[in-house]
Amino acid sequence: MLNKFLPNEHVKSIFEIHPQKLKEQGIKGIITDLDNTLVAWDMRDATPEVIAWFKLMKENDIQVTIISNNNEERVTFFSEPLGTPFVFSARKPLRRAFLKAQKQMNLKKEEIVVIGDQILTDVLGGNAAGLQTILVVPITQTDGKITRINRKIERMILNYMRKKGKINWEE
């Protein structure tokens, strides 16, 4: 059961995820979380670095879809300037939004990777949908109320997995 919380990979930020490596792994699409994965949860716009990352993915024919538990206004405001498809009010970790994004991308499950900063939403949901997952370090150490609760649970899960030798990275 705890294996559902294990990502396939762990990196410090999205900027460590390069299209050439993804292509070598057969990846043609990315489903990414928004808040604390792409930008801080309280930041409305994409940074120039995030815009460049999206452009790099597009130039390398890697589709990117944003899925977020946040509301329509927040996700639309962020995604539309990037020309990126999105799913709002995703209710992660439920599989529905991940499968919807996969269908929109018209890709096979093995061609998609999920990127996110939370084990209880992004990794669990991506794994439950049968997709590869990459956990990134949260951009900021502050969170909304619900996410703060999730982080406490995540720390317990990570500590347990570390003791069992299932993970070897530091938080």
At residue 42, does pLDDT exceed 60?
yes
Q: Amino acid identity of 92?
A: K
Residue 164, both tokens:
């069992």
Q: Which H/E stretch holds residue 63?
A: strand 63-67
pLDDT at 143: 62
pLDDT at 158: 80
pLDDT at 144: 62
Asked, for residue 153, whether it belongs to a domain, the answer is no
Q: How many domains, in total, are found in the chain?
A: 1
Share of the chain above pLDDT 70, in %: 94
Sequence-separated (6 or more) residues with CB below 8 Å from residue 161: 2, 5, 6, 167
Asked, for residue 13, whether it belongs to a domain, the answer is yes
DSSP 69-118: SS-HHHHHHHHGGGT--EE-S--TTSTHHHHHHHHHHT--GGGEEEEES-
Asked, for residue 70, whether it belongs to a domain, the answer is yes
pLDDT at 91: 95
Going by C-alpha positions, the residue among 74, 75, 53, 72 that lies closest to residue 64 is: 53
Going by C-alpha positions, the residue among 37, 60, 39 that lies closest to residue 48 is: 39
Domain span at residue 63 reads 2-140
pLDDT at 156: 83
Q: Can you give the CATH number for the domain in which 75 is found?
A: 3.40.50.1000
Burial class (CB within 10 angstroms; exposed 0-12, middle 13-18, buried 19+) of 40: middle
Average pLDDT over residues 90-95: 95
d(CA 118, CA 33): 9
Average confidence score pLDDT of the chain: 91
Sequence-separated (6 or more) residues with CB below 8 Å from residue 84: 54, 64, 65, 66
Asked, for residue 48, whether it belongs to a domain, the answer is yes
pLDDT at 145: 64
pTM for the model? 0.89
